[in-house]
Amino acid sequence: MKRAIFPGSFDPITLGHYDIISRSVSLFDEVIVAIGINAEKKYMFSLEERMTFIEDAFKHEPKIKVTSYNGLTVDYCKEVNAEFILRGLRNPADFEFEKAIAHTNRDLAPIETVFLLTAASTSYISSSIVRDVIRNNGDYTKLVPNSVKLK
């Protein structure tokens, strides 16, 4: 079974994330959207809310699972028997950053990183932009799946 982990904070999931996850289903037997927990980070949405946003967005796709984890992504990959880490690339800066992480991960474990380019229509969207739009009462709904709803 080809199992991939798509790690991130997903605070919140964006249409860019949604695009990468949707397209990855044809490449892997199972895609685990894994929300990394970082005690140092202040999140806009709770872990439960973020998990629900993703689960609701993909409720009709049985190949997608949503989990959370602590620690190194490669350790979590070993724990769930995932051979691949899936990452999305929006721009050249993303590539340089992700390349360094991918090399480090390969030094730590026999895990391959697979990069997918985001669709041109979503390449400008990031979770930090979405959070800024939300904080300033803008129309965030154009940037996220329908499952992302504010209380």
Q: Is the pLDDT of residue 37 over 80?
A: yes
Question: Where are the strands (E) in 57-100, listed by range?
Answer: 64-69, 84-89
90 is an active site residue: yes
> Do 127 and 11 touch, CB atoms closer than 8 A?
yes
**CA 75 – CA 84 distance, rounded (Å):** 12
Q: What is the CATH number of the domain that holds 65?
A: 3.40.50.620
In a domain, 133, yes or no: yes
Domain count, the chain: 1
Is residue 147, in this structure, part of any structural domain at all? no
Tokens of 142: 């154009």
In the prediction, which pLDDT does 149 show?
87
Q: Give the pLDDT band of residue 122 (cuts 50, 70, 90).
A: very high
Quick check: 23 pLDDT over 90?
Answer: yes
In this structure, is residue 95 part of a structural domain?
yes
Domain ranges, residue 102: 3-142
Amino acid, single-letter form, for residue 36:
G
| Residue 1 or residue 6, greater confidence | 6
In a domain, 83, yes or no: yes
Give the DSSP letter of residue 57. Answer: H
d(CA 113, CA 106): 8
Check pLDDT > 90 for residue 146: yes
For residue 118, tell me if it sits in a domain: yes
In a domain, 60, yes or no: yes
Q: Among this protein's residues, is 26 annotated catalytic?
A: no
Q: Which of 17, 24, 50, 87 is catalytic?
A: 17
Catalytic residue among 26, 41, 42, 151: 41
Give the pLDDT score at 66.
98
pLDDT over 90 at 55, yes or no:
yes
Instruction: Judge whether 151 lies within some domain.
Output: no
- pLDDT (0 to 100) of residue 7: 97
